[in-house]
Amino acid sequence: MSKDLASIFNGWDYQPGAPIVRKIMGDDGKPKIQLRLDLGVFQMEMDGRPDGKRPHGRDSLLDHYQALLANHRQRKGSDEDFKLTLEDFAGLHQEAIQYYHRYVSLFQLEDFEGVKRDTERNLKLMDFVTQYVEPPEVAQSMNQFRPYVLMMNIRARANLALKRNEHARAIAELESGIQSIREIYDSSRRGDFGDIAPELKVLESMLEEIRSKRPLSPREQLTKALEEAIAREDYERAALLRDQLKALDQPSNTAAE
């Protein structure tokens, strides 16, 4: 069998500035993700660790260190003196990059459940590293990406809500996410940057689009029609619409007999 990869790229050209992603079926019968790069391709597993490895017999390095922490707590009665070394951190950081490549690819494939899963996993990794790595300042090299990871998580949550036609839920997810990211910038003393942060711009743009396209509720439809009737000085119709609005507030008089 030839080891030349050229045949893989036939008809699959690299496009600068745009992730090129596809889903294929592996020789093992399991689906894989392929991410096209300028000089090659990444291939990732759909589930588990993206490279398919099981470090120390665990699904991931994070799972391994969390198991070590659990054993430490069982022996010591607390997590006191449990620390991650710089070598531990390097391995976890590299693992986080693998999950980053996968959730970006999954977003292109509109697999928002997968994006939600992988971003939540990387956020947990950041929390873990922040709490236990020595020296603490090292964690900042990873925590600087927290707003981006959170943004991708919120986009996935909002898109999942939209798929269920839950527009109000999508709006709530975006509003909550915007607030959380602003708090991150404020707590890191970068509050001024929050006004122009790209993560906030993306979420605010998505929020504005959803609000403009959101189907109106019966009450909102009546209220809009009422405002238009008043603007046209069609007071007879306005009175009718007011009655209909009041009827929405009346409890149902129908009772089971």
64, 133 Cβ separation under 8 angstroms: no
Report how far residue 116's alpha carbon sits from residue 99's, in angstroms, rounded to the nearest whole number.
Answer: 11
* Helix, strand or coil, per DSSP, at residue 189: coil
Query: Of 153, 137, 58, which is closest to residue 100 (Cα–Cα)?
Result: 153
188, 151 Cβ separation under 8 angstroms: no
pLDDT at 193: 62
Q: Which of 184-188, 200-204, 246-250 is predicted with the least confidence, judged by mean pLDDT?
A: 246-250
For the four alpha carbons of 127, 129, 133 and 139, in that order, the dihedral sign comes to negative
User: What band does 251 get if pLDDT is binned at 50, 70 and 90?
Assistant: low
Report how far residue 219's alpha carbon sits from residue 163's, in angstroms, rounded to the nearest whole number.
Answer: 23
Instruction: Give mean pLDDT, residues 198-213.
Output: 92
Over residues 22-35, the pLDDT tens digits come to 999 999 999 999 99
Tokens in use for 185? 């910038």
pLDDT at 234: 85
120, 96 Cβ separation under 8 angstroms: no
pLDDT at 256: 42
User: What band does 139 get if pLDDT is binned at 50, 70 and 90?
Assistant: confident
* Helix, strand or coil, per DSSP, at residue 34: strand
Instruction: Give mean pLDDT, residues 12-26.
Output: 86
Query: What letter does residue 136 receive in the DSSP assignment?
Result: G
What is the chain's length?
Answer: 257
User: What band does 1 get if pLDDT is binned at 50, 70 and 90?
Assistant: low
* Helix, strand or coil, per DSSP, at residue 29: coil
The residue among 8 and 133 whose pLDDT is bigger is 133
Query: Tokens 């430490």 appear where?
Result: 72
> What's the chain's average pLDDT?
89
Q: What angle do CA 119, 120, 124 make, to 5 degrees?
A: 115
Tokens in use for 116? 């939600």
**224 φ, ψ (degrees, to nearest 5):** -65, -45
- Phi-psi category of 14—alpha, beta or left, where left has phi over 0 and alpha has psi -120 to 50? beta
Query: What letter does residue 234 receive in the DSSP assignment?
Result: -
Q: Where are the alpha helices (DSSP H) in 164-217?
A: 167-187, 191-194, 198-213
Q: Which residues contact 40 (CB under 8 A, 6 or more apart)?
A: 5
* pTM metric for this prediction: 0.81
Over residues 161-194, the pLDDT tens digits come to 999 989 989 999 999 999 999 999 888 766 566 5
Q: What share of the chain in percent tops pLDDT 90?
A: 61
Domain borders along the chain are 218-249
